[in-house]
Amino acid sequence: MVRMHHTLPMVVATVQLLPALWITVSCARILGITTLPFFSHQIVYQPIWKELSLRGHQVTLVTTHPMKDNGLTNITEIDIGEIILSVLGEASLSQDTAKDGSHYSILRKLFENHYIIADAVFSDRRFIEVYNSSYVRFDVVVAESNISPIMYAVAAKFKVPLVGVYSFGVWMGLNHAIGNPHPLSLYPEIWSGSDGRMKFFERIRNTLYYIWTRYYLNFEALPKCDQIARKYLGNDIPYIQDIEKNMSLLLLTTNPILYEPRPNVPTVISMEQMHIKPVKPLPKDLKQFLDNAKEGVVYFSLGSNVKSINIPEKLRKVLIEAFAELPYKVLWKFEADDLPGKPENVLIGKWIPQQDVLAHPNVKVFVTQCGLQSVEEAVARGVPMVGMPFIADQTRNIQRLSEEGAAVGLEHTTLTKEEFKNAIFEVVNNPKYKQNVKRLGEIWVDHPLPSLNRTIWWIEYVIRHKGTKHLRSPTADVSWFEYLLIDVILVLLTIVSLALFILYVAIKFILRMIFGGRKLKQN
């Protein structure tokens, strides 16, 4: 009994110490790198950094949009936003994925821009102190997976697992690199404007583009990416393509509505609606404007990439004339203090709390460029849309929403005042659009685990197991020649051809023996 009394305090102390030990063991050092200077993309990642910090991980973040949250004491943020905009410009990045550009020119321009971005980021003194330090250590690198794999090399420099994250779907080249199935008959490039029901000539175009992509990557883009990575990180790293192939995890903003269902490898995880937040009170003047609009409100915004101030004068004139003739009030996100010719029923604002505005019951329709994050917000708030696509995946987004009966699509280059007004009246007055948006919203959020929880669990899974080699797709190590069974097909064709040739020779020999013998007897 005495021994038990003496042992009891030790047991209690040990039990009390276990949680502290668990926290210490589970705390990881995480390096995050996101280089796109678009707020709509970065707001998807911010909940990830915040949650990792709140869970006790030490996060070093290289980003174009720092959170600057004083409540997060274990995040170090390196702001590279101004650096990237100074060397490239936000408008340049948006124009590179304009829907009227060819697939080939889009991909080439995107890589060329990312060469410039990588040089600027790697040259930043604060980042140099991170990747060149002899005492800085990390357990995982989480890097934005936007076309270029250059930043993946930082994970190889630190010899830690790599996690890719992107507020978009995945492009064809990355699918190929990680061994994710990508049948050319079903899945076009994400900025092509096509969906999985491609016609014959679209499949031809998709196949030719894929062949050109393989050539461009292997002989131009990847060697250049590898050269830039070695310039700053040294030669003691694998080839850039091998680093990309060994990605432990890929987190994507996809969903079952806008993206065709596909067989993903286990390391590709969806994280849709990451940035959707609870509804907050509106500013007093904005709330008053919306509350007083008993006839309804049209909310118009082209997002953070396209911007209303940059649209052609002809299109702006069409919009202004159409808005002036509507019986509704109009809230327009316009990035200037003044809008020449602004109708009386229009209120403009440089910045508008979009999620909270869309939650207001008087907002009847959202006129949008159909960027992925804007669509997610509209669906989350149950607001039907009129889509006016400009760049990237916006064309396919409005196409899918129109097929689902949740939106009406318009072509901004040929838009007339009457077309625009008719589209707004159709969406406002036909209840099917509202009903279909709500239906999509119910599908979108029906998951066994919220996206943020799922995302954090997988990142910590990579940390716990020091990568995911056990989940790696064997397709990543198979050449296209083997993957398409070209070698097997050639061997089988050779065997069949040889067999047919032998059969032909044998039949010819037999016929010659038969008919040759008869002819000899007759003579």
- Note the pLDDT tens digit of each residue in 267-285: 999 988 888 999 999 999 9
**Above pLDDT 70, what percent of the chain?**
90
Q: For position 165, what pLDDT does the model report?
A: 95
Quick one: which of 285, 308, 322 has its CA closest to 368?
Answer: 308
User: Which of residues 451 and 19 earns the better pLDDT score?
Assistant: 451
Least confident residue range of 26-30, 123-127, 379-383, 452-456 = 26-30
Residues 6+ apart with CB under 8 A from 468: 161, 248, 249, 266, 267, 461, 462
14 pLDDT tier (thresholds 50, 70, 90): very low
Distance from C-alpha of 195 to C-alpha of 198, rounded to nearest angstrom: 6
Q: What residues are paired with 330 via a beta bridge?
A: 298, 346
Query: To 10 degrees, the CA torsion angle through 414, 417, 421, 423?
Result: -10
Q: For position 9, what pLDDT does the model report?
A: 38
Residue with tokens 């396209």: 306
188 pLDDT tier (thresholds 50, 70, 90): confident
Q: For position 353, what pLDDT does the model report?
A: 94
Q: Could you give the maximum distance between any two Cα atoms of the chain, in Å?
A: 126
pLDDT at residue 23 greater than cutoff 60:
no
Quick one: which of 279, 282, 289, 375 has its CA closest to 332?
Answer: 289
507 pLDDT tier (thresholds 50, 70, 90): very high
Task: For the chain, give the mean pLDDT.
Answer: 87
Residue with tokens 């690199």: 177
pLDDT at residue 306 greater than cutoff 60:
yes
Average pLDDT (176-195) is 80
pLDDT, tens digit, 9 for 90 and up, residues 385-422: 999 998 878 888 999 999 999 999 999 989 999 999 99
Average pLDDT (171-191) is 85
Average pLDDT (447-463) is 93
3-state secondary structure of 329: strand
pLDDT, tens digit, 9 for 90 and up, residues 324-356: 999 999 999 998 888 888 999 999 999 999 999
pLDDT at residue 3 greater than cutoff 50:
no
pLDDT at residue 4 greater than cutoff 50:
no
Task: For the chain, report the end-to-end CA distance as a whole number of angstroms.
Answer: 124
Q: For position 85, what pLDDT does the model report?
A: 87
pLDDT, tens digit, 9 for 90 and up, residues 74-85: 999 999 999 998
Q: For position 410, what pLDDT does the model report?
A: 93
For the chain, the C-alpha Rg in angstroms (whole number) is 29
Number of neighbours of residue 3 by Cβ within 10 angstroms: 7
Q: For position 522, what pLDDT does the model report?
A: 60
Quick one: which of 128, 132, 171, 169 has its CA closest to 149?
Answer: 171
Q: For position 508, what pLDDT does the model report?
A: 86
pLDDT at residue 432 greater than cutoff 50:
yes
Quick one: which of 191, 263, 255 has its CA closest to 475?
Answer: 263
Average pLDDT (87-100) is 60
Distance from C-alpha of 463 to C-alpha of 160, rounded to nearest angstrom: 9
SS (H, E, C) 294-315: CCCEEEEECCCCCCHHHCCHHH
Confirm if 233 and 154 have CB atoms less than 8 A apart.
yes
Q: What residues are paired with 60 via a beta bridge?
A: 31, 76
Confirm if 34 and 144 have CB atoms less than 8 A apart.
yes
What secondary structure letter does DSSP report for 221? I
| The length of the chain, given as a count of residues | 523
Confirm if 386 and 424 have CB atoms less than 8 A apart.
yes
- Phi/psi for 326 (5° steps) reads -85, 150
Confirm if 379 and 363 have CB atoms less than 8 A apart.
no
Quick one: which of 165, 180, 173, 159 has its CA closest to 238?
Answer: 159
26 pLDDT tier (thresholds 50, 70, 90): low
> What are all long-range contacts of 213-221, with beta carbons under 8 Å and residues at least 24 apart?
213/107, 213/172, 213/173, 214/176, 214/480, 216/107, 216/108, 217/173, 217/241, 221/111, 221/148
pLDDT at residue 37 greater than cutoff 90:
no
Which amino acid appears at position 422 of this protein? Answer: N
pLDDT at residue 18 greater than cutoff 50:
no
Q: Give buried/exposed letters for 40-55 (b at 16+ CB in 10 A, else e).
A: bbbbbbbbbbbbbbeb
Confirm if 494 and 274 have CB atoms less than 8 A apart.
no
Average pLDDT (371-375) is 91
Residue 420 Cα distances to 99, 326, 384, 408, 410, angstroms: 20, 10, 15, 10, 8
Q: For position 363, what pLDDT does the model report?
A: 96
